[in-house]
Structure 1
């Protein structure tokens, strides 16, 4: 079954909005695992507007499933990842002020940069995934840069999935995801996915991308938890990922 990694950034956003330590990020991570999450994802940004660098240090010894740290490989980010040594580092081409991740790597243009970063991480024993658009022409670049996995950026998929309810003939974009997934699998890259996946669109993606190893979901899962409760919500998402 495809693994569910819960991105806990939004819990940190809620904590930071009021100050103090409510909700307690450490307890949130423990509870997510207790409720069935297969991993915990965090995305510390330079302004620490949600997950703080110290949160990452505090989470490392208590996460018993897979710990995934994602972000732009700046010097500070790399230092943090090499210090905490998560199971996986997901490299995202975020400029410092971006609201949320909204694009994948150009693995051709940034090939030398990615090779250097990935080599450093893999020498530390960290699996590396890189954020990629559904673009078959960028897959070989991910492999040659040394990545173990790609994470498909599913924001455009989520938007098109919603639009397809009224304009099903326009759902051509999904072919790009299927072709990119097939190419990645053919050359030995494993496949993750993330961004705007939710209870409405996740099952379709899972069924049509059989290579899918892991999804990272945060915003939609936290929104659903407001109505359904965290434990029930995690189980609802895991059911969507069953084979």
Structure 2
């Protein structure tokens, strides 16, 4: 049965937009814990625009579920991860790359620098995932740089404007999941998924985890964080 990591980035975005100490990502994370989340995810950008280092440190101290830190593979961020020690790091493209947020990283086979980053984190007890598009060559490359996890970006599924284009994106995700499973990678899927789209994944048992943020935070505005997380957990368990 797949787990759920709840991303609390948008709580920090709201806080910084309001220029207020609240809402607090750590408080939202604790409610997500109570609601049954298996992990809490947070994206620390290099420009610290929304999530701050103090947020990550407070999450490390306060949550009961695992901490998943989304970050670039820069030396600065690797050093921070080694200091904070999340259970998992998920590598993302730097924010100045054109494709960041669209597809994930472009991983090159046997990339020496990426191999070193993965090895450094793993040698210090931190599991490593990499976010990539649902493309065969990217799944293979994640395997070849020895990452533990692949996070398959699903954002184009929700952004599809027609049933035909959505079907094409769905087929890409299914193929990517099947390939990652054959390569014995742990598999997470995330990006643009909501309470409707998650139902499409019924029967795709190879997935180990879903990573969701925006849709849960949006529902939490109406029903509260704990309830929003419980509802998503129930949907995932029914797949």
What TM-score do the two structures reach when normalised by structure 1? Answer: 0.91
Residue 171 (1) aligns with residue 164 (2): no
Residue 214 (1) aligns with residue 213 (2): no
Runs of 4+ with deviation above 3 angstroms? 96-100
Query: What is the Cα deviation at residue 228 of structure 1?
Result: 2.5
1:8 paired residue number:
8
Q: Which runs of 5+ in 2 are unaligned?
A: none
Contact 2:6 2:39 in 1 (8 A): yes
Query: What is the Cα deviation at residue 98 of structure 1?
Result: 6.9
Contact 1:134 1:177 in 2 (8 A): yes
Q: Map Cα deviations across residues 149-187 of structure 1 (whole Å, 9 max, x no partner).
A: 100000112223x621xxx47622322211111111111
Alpha-carbon RMSD across the aligned residues, in angstroms, is 2.0
1:21 paired residue number:
21
1:238 paired residue number:
233
1:196 paired residue number:
192
Matches within 5 A, 1:111-122: 111-122=111-122
Matches within 5 A, 1:1-243: 1-96=1-96, 101-108=101-108, 111-160=111-160, 163-164=162-163, 168=164, 171-204=167-200, 206-242=201-237, 243=239
Q: How many residues align?
A: 238
Contact 1:158 1:196 in 2 (8 A): yes
Contact 1:93 1:103 in 2 (8 A): no
Q: Map Cα deviations across residues 44-100 of structure 1 (whole Å, 9 max, x no partner).
A: 112222110121112111121111000211222111111011011000113337796
Secondary structure in 2 aligned to 1:45? Answer: coil
Q: Map Cα deviations across residues 183-238 of structure 1 (whole Å, 9 max, x no partner).
A: 1111111100111110110111x215321111111112111111222222111111
What TM-score do the two structures reach when normalised by structure 2? Answer: 0.92
119-128 vs 101-110, greater mean Cα deviation: 101-110
Cα–Cα, structure 1 residues 228 and 116, in superposed 2: closer, same or farther, change >3 Å? same
